[in-house]
Structure 1
Amino acid sequence: MSTVKGPGARTDAWSGRVESGDWQAITAEVDEYGGALLPRLLTPEETVRIRQLYGQDELFRSTVDMGRHRFGQGQYRYLDTPYPEPVERLKQALYPRLLPIARNWWARLGRPAPWP
C-alpha cells in the first residue's frame, strides 16, 4: 500500500507508522536519556509473525548465548540478509529519522559521521 503526498513524495504503511511519531520529542528524549519510545510500529499480528521467525535457523547469521558471556540467561540472534520484509521496510523507514540523531551524537563526540 503506497500513497503519494506532494510532488515526488512517496509514503507507505511502514513509513507512515514511523512518521506518526513526534520526532522532535523523540530526539529530545534520546539526547536526554539515551533512548526513547517510538510509536507502535507493528500490529499485534505482525509482532506474532516476527516472533515466529526465531525458530527458523536459516534466517539468522549467528546466535549468541548470553550466559556464556555472563550477560544473564538466554540468547539473541542476528538476522542474516536479506531481512524479512517488515524488518527491511522498517529499517528503510527509520533510517532517515535516526540518521540525523546519530550524526549529531558523533559530532558531539568530535568524530566524523561514517554514514552517507
Structure 2
Amino acid sequence: MTDAELADRRDGATNSAMNWTTSADAIWADAIESLDRYGNAVLPSVLRAQQCEQLAALYARDDCFRTRIVMARHNFGRGEYKYFAYPLPPLLERLRHALYRRLAPVANRWNRQMGLDVQYPDALDAFLARCHAAGQTRPTPLMLRYRAGDYNCLHQDLYGDHVFPLQVAILLSAPGEDFTGGEFVMTETGSRDQHADVVALGQGDAVVFAVNQRPDMTPGAQGRASVRRVAMRHGVSVVRSGTRHTLGLIFHDARAASASASVLEPA
C-alpha cells in the first residue's frame, strides 16, 4: 500500500468515527477561519459518547502509558496526566494522522505569514521522522484527569526544538453530568486586542489551538494590515465537582527531560 493510500485509509477510518452532521469540508472551513481569527477552533462531535467512555477507561491501566505526571509536584496546577506509550491505541493513531494532514497546510501558511522558514511535510510520519532524527523520540499524546479543585496553569507544550504549531484536545467527559467548572481557557499577548478566551466544549468535541504563537493580521488604527506574532497559552479553570478526562493530541514528540532546559515535561 502506498503512503497516499495509507493516508486516505486513515482519514476514512477517522471520519467514520466522527459523528458530524454536516460535511467535514464545511466544518474545516469554519475551523480554519476561527483559527486565523482567534487561535482556536471547535470541531464538534469528533468522538461519540461510547468512544469517549472507552478511551477514558484506559486511564486506569498502566500498560497503555509510559509515564504519569502529578501536576502539583511541578507547579503545573493540580490534577494529573499520563503520556501514552508507542504503539498508540488504534483510534488515537488514526486521529493523530488524519488531523495532522488537515492542519499541516494551516501551519505552513502561518509560518510563511510570520516570516519563519520552517515548513511541515504533508504526512505525520515524515514530520515524526524529523523529530526522531533530532532526538525527540518520546510520544506526547496524553490523557489528563482532573477532580474537584484541580486546574491546569496557563502553559505551552513545546518539548524540544521541533514544534508543530497546532495541537488538539478532545473532551471525554460530559460537562454538567460528569463534572462542573473545568473550562478550557486560552490567552494571547502581543496582539492589538489582548484577551482571554473561554472555549465551551461538549463531550466528544475537540478544540484545535495554537501551541506557541500565531499570526495576527488585524488592521491597526490607521487601517494598515501588518503581521504580528501573537503569543498563545492555554489551561483549564478549576473543576468544581466530579471528574474531567481529556485527550491531548500533540503532533511533535519529546526529547528526554534532561536533554534541554526548555522541555516542559518532567522526567
- Shorter-chain TM-score range: 0.7 to 0.9
Q: Distance in 2 between matches of 1:48 and 1:23?
A: 25
Secondary structure in structure 2 of the residue aligned to 1:51:
helix
Normalising by structure 1, we get a TM-score of 0.79
Q: 1:105 & 1:65 partners in 2: Cα distance? A: 34
Q: Which residue number in structure 1 is paired with residue 229 of structure 2?
A: none
Q: Distance in 2 between matches of 1:82 and 1:41?
A: 22
Residue 107 of structure 2 contacts residue 120 of structure 2 at CA under 8 Å; is this kept in 1? no
Q: Residue 15 of structure 2 aligns with which residue? A: 15
Paired-residue identity, %: 35
Alpha carbons 1:14, 1:89 under 8 Å: kept: yes
What secondary structure does 1:37 align onto?
A: strand
Runs of 4+ in 1 over 4 A off after TM superposition: none
Could you say which structure has the larger radius of gyration? 2
> 1:3-54: CA deviations, max 9, x gaps?
xxxxxx6563413538625212101111111111002111111100100111
Tell me, in whole angstroms, the C-alpha distance in 1 between the residues paired with 2:74 and 2:119: 29
Conserved in 2, the CA contact under 8 Å of 1:15 and 1:94? no
The question of 1:62 aligning with 2:86 is answered no
Matching residue of 2:30:
25
- Answering whether residue 111 of structure 2 is matched by residue 106 of structure 1, we say yes
2:42 aligned partner: 37
Report which of the two has the higher share of helix.
1
Which amino acid in the other structure matches residue 103 of structure 1? N
Structure 2: 5+ residue runs without aligned partners?
1-7, 122-267
Which one has a larger percent strand, Structure 1 or Structure 2? 2
TM-score normalized by the length of structure 2: 0.37
Structure 1 stretches lacking a partner, 5+ long: 1-8
Does the residue aligned with 2:68 lie in a helix, a strand or coil?
strand
Contact persistence 1:61–1:79 (CA under 8 A): yes
SS in 1 for 2:53: helix
SS of match in other structure, 1:99: helix
CA RMSD, Structure 1 to Structure 2 (Å): 2.1
1:66–1:109 distance in 2 versus 1, CA, 3 Å: farther
* Counterpart for residue 153 of structure 2: none
Q: Does 106-115 or 24-33 show the bigger shift?
A: 106-115
Higher relative contact order (CA 8 A, sep 6+): 2
